[in-house]
Amino acid sequence: MDTRQVVARFEAERQALALMDHPHIAKVMDVGATDRGRPYFVMELVKGKPIVEYCDQNSLPVHERLALMAEVCRAVQHAHGKGIIHRDLKPTNVLVGTQDGQPSVKVIDFGIAKATSQTLTEKTLFTEMGQIIGSLQYMSPEQAEGSLDVDTRTDVYSLGIMLYELLTGGTPFDLRKMRGVLFGEIQRLICEVDPPKPSTRMSESAEVLDHVAARRRVAPERLGLVLRGELDWIVMKALEKDRSRRYGTANELGLDIERYLAGDAVLAAPPGAGYRLRKLVRRHRLLVGAAAAVAVALLAGVIAFAWQARVATGQRDRALQAEAEAEAEARADELEVVASFQANMLEQLDATTAGQMLTEDVMSRLESALESIEPTKEERSERLESFRRQWTLVNAADAARELIDRLLLRPALTAIDEEFAEQPLVDARLRQVLADRYRKLGLYDAALPPQLRALKIRRETLGEDDPRTLSSLDHLGLLRNARGEYDAAERDFRAALEGASRVLGEEHPQTLEALSNVGTVLASKGEFGEAESFYRDALEKHRRVLGDDHRETITAINNVGFVLDMAGKLEEAESYYRDALETARRVLGEEDAYTMASMNSLAVLLHVARRLDEAEPLYREALEKRRRLLGAEHPDTLSSLANLGALLKYQGNLEEAETLYREALEKKRRILGEDHPETLISLQNLGSLLRADGRRDEAVAAYREALAGRTRVLGPAHPSTLNTLFSLASLLAEGGDDAATAELLFLAEVELRILASGTGEGASAAADALAELRARASANGTENVDQDHQR
């Protein structure tokens, strides 16, 4: 490298480090230039050793190595968030020292970093076509090819190599043994040859295995079991040749490592899991049964070998005892792998995929059957096309939701009860997965028992402050919020936030999730000012910790837009909504649930702003996709149905709007319940339409029912309750029923005065509501049509 390149690399590192401020990235203390114009910077003195060397010299066990690797991932994510790709991540550029008696990592040497936003000097890198940048053993396939199209996933690959080395003691390909080999052959190895899994590498040499296991404080025969399964999956996902199949960000890799450490299901899946899931769903049975049968066999093995160990003790046969105990321990490890596999399988269940598979399976079977009863191809085609038309009347996603519940989830709960009584953490883990599946399928009542049980087990087994317990508490809040139990949800979210902040730190992803969730429930309660404070705090931290393109960051952007929307700041809210939608479309795809939620939020804002020509196509697109992908009875689909009805009503198309309103109301009553806030929104909307259609008596009845429900569920001071109150009062006044109007407003004022005379936040909200009531009491209560804001 010539002098110009040395100076350029120096300048690159100076600029890159100046952009970053993270506890695990070496800090710049001072910058400047000598009298002769030579640039310099003063960097924090890092007293440490390369991460692999440190771990080996201190014989750190696997879980401590993983914890350090998670820290590295967070540091690299911070760099990515500043637009910096390291491009030369390797153990010598990740130093480990000691801070407060604990190991702490520092990422150094950003000398060949690439600025994704082009903020670094243009003369920095001299990356001419064909020049290879980075270290061969840790180089991604795209770097080895000499491509200039390098993104953050290049660093993810290098992190995967380091993780492989930390676990196995060597890199996937030992390029030091290939000296003298043509570079083209090395390129082919990096770009085309799949490395052995970490657990497979450990079975290649008994001598190497003994040495590696000793440095990880684990018996040689145990190390392969530790690596097999989830750690294999995590490493191999990071090392995918096709970068679109790797973890999307360093943070995703770090979070999966933390999930493994916490005992939760990881996102990385075993090879072929999707294929196995399709086969199982097509059969509509055996998913849980087959896995449970394996679990039963393994549990029987654990019990049998434990019994052998006790017998051996009685006989004082120490050799047999040791052998039996080792075998029991191995069976328990295998059981953990099976439980993890089951959790991953259950987490992948969704009505969209299952519905599509159901359709494919039905059509395939029908086509095969027709071949035996219809002699000609034309007759077969005609019959098949006729059946296809009939099948379109069936919502495959709804059918799949029923099948998933009846044939998979309910049997899974039974299997857990029967098979995991002696494995409480496995029991809790699987119950939590089931509760989350039920919630995401919109089956809120079915989700509650496994959710409560998972939390109870984790509290009793792990304690209140364990991250897994706090996660279950946060998920209980999500379920209660979805059920419209806002006060209980707020208590859960605040407790989860306090615990996560204290145990995991202010910027841990689990803490950020709880922070956002507090904002969500406050928004649900109509406390938009406080909700905005939580949402803005969450968005700033999500951007810094997870990056702009992370799924949770997209939600955080949409959330800020929502509270601004509710505050009437439509122009500012629109910019947030469009940012969220454009990012979701680009990163997650057109048919992702987050994309559809962002689309719905923007459509509602455009509707409120009376830009109906822009709102209608978004409403219709969201409704079509949700019907097809989530099912006609999913709560999100019902929100889209109600929103489109509101727009059609405003356009004067009362007949079609009423059809949609009544469909949404009937399904919400049946699925969510009479008193669910979403049901009451639809009831209010129906009253508004009946009023517009001149059907006054029907409208009054709908408004009164909605008012009673909202007062009971949300309280008299909630903005939605006041909205219904004013709508009913103005309708009564229009009909000349002054006595009924006066009585309605008088009773509402008495109730709000009682609440306002108290103390606390509720009293303040009641006082504000009372002021608004008095200001509007003498006016013709202008009604507001509710729309479902689905975030």
pLDDT single digits (tens) 391-400 = 554 454 455 5
Q: Which of 28-42, 208-222, 266-280, 378-392 has the highest mean pLDDT?
A: 208-222
pLDDT of 682 higher than 60 = yes
Q: Which of 118-122, 381-385, 586-590 has the highest mean pLDDT?
A: 586-590
pLDDT of residue 325: 41
pLDDT of 349 higher than 50 = no
Residue at a domain's end among 296, 315, 348: 348
- Does any domain span residue 791? no
Calculated CA dihedral for residues 476, 479, 485, 486, nearest 10 degrees: 80
- Does any domain span residue 339? yes
For 482, residues 6+ apart whose C-beta sits below 8 A from its C-beta are 439, 444, 635
Give the tokens for residue 498: 């306090």
pLDDT digits (tens, 9 = 90+) for 580-637: 999 999 988 888 888 888 899 899 899 988 899 999 999 999 999 888 877 777 888 8
Give the tokens for residue 290: 């087959």
pLDDT digits (tens, 9 = 90+) for 640-670: 888 899 899 888 899 999 999 998 888 888 7
Confidence of residue 181 (pLDDT cuts 50, 70, 90): low
Answer yes or no: do 280 and 248 share one domain. Answer: no
Count: domains in the chain: 3
| Number of Cα atoms under 13 Å in the Cβ half of residue 51 | 28
Answer yes or no: do 156 and 298 share one domain. Answer: no
Answer yes or no: do 217 and 319 share one domain. Answer: no
Confidence of residue 25 (pLDDT cuts 50, 70, 90): confident
pLDDT of residue 634: 81
Answer yes or no: do 194 and 243 share one domain. Answer: yes
pLDDT of residue 60: 94
Mean local confidence (pLDDT), 309-336: 42
Q: Which of 171-180, 335-344, 615-624, 646-655 shows the lowest per-residue confidence on average (mean pLDDT)?
A: 335-344
Give the tokens for residue 685: 């909307």
Q: Are 605 and 639 in contact (CB under 8 A)?
A: no
Confidence of residue 126 (pLDDT cuts 50, 70, 90): very low
Whole-model pTM: value is: 0.47
pLDDT of residue 479: 92
- Does any domain span residue 176? yes
Q: Which of 235-239, 526-530, 765-769 shows the lowest per-residue confidence on average (mean pLDDT)?
A: 765-769
Calculated CA dihedral for residues 711, 713, 717, 721, nearest 10 degrees: -60
Answer yes or no: do 200 and 267 share one domain. Answer: yes
- Does any domain span residue 736? yes
Answer yes or no: do 105 and 184 share one domain. Answer: yes
The single-letter DSSP state of residue 761 is H
Of all residues in the chain, what percent carry a pLDDT higher than 70?
66
Sheet holding 102-107, edge to edge: 49-50, 94-99, 102-107
- Does any domain span residue 661? no
More confident residue, 714 or 398: 714
pLDDT digits (tens, 9 = 90+) for 510-550: 999 999 999 999 988 888 889 999 999 999 999 988 888 88
Answer yes or no: do 148 and 191 share one domain. Answer: yes
Answer yes or no: do 286 and 241 share one domain. Answer: no
pLDDT of residue 22: 83
Q: Are 54 and 48 in contact (CB under 8 A)?
A: yes
Choose among 611, 605, 515, 610: nearest CA to 564. Answer: 605
- The CA angle 635-637-639, to the nearest 5 degrees, is 70
- Does any domain span residue 75? yes
Answer yes or no: do 227 and 257 share one domain. Answer: yes
Answer yes or no: do 229 and 344 share one domain. Answer: no
Helices 677-692 and 719-734 pack at an angle, to 10 degrees, of 20
Which residues pair with residue 30 across a beta bridge? Answer: 42
Give the tokens for residue 216: 């990880």
Residue at a domain's end among 291, 320, 348: 348
Q: Under DSSP, is residue 737 helix (H, G, I), strand (E, B) or coil?
A: coil
Containing structural domain, residue 64: 19-26+48-112+133-271
Residue at a domain's end among 298, 324, 348: 348
- Does any domain span residue 678? no
End-to-end CA distance of the chain: 53
Amino acid 627 reads R
Answer yes or no: do 70 and 170 share one domain. Answer: yes
pLDDT of residue 740: 59
Answer yes or no: do 227 and 326 share one domain. Answer: no
- Does any domain span residue 381? no
- Burial letters 418-440, b for 16+ CB under 10 A, else e: ebbeebebbbbbbbbbbbbbbbb
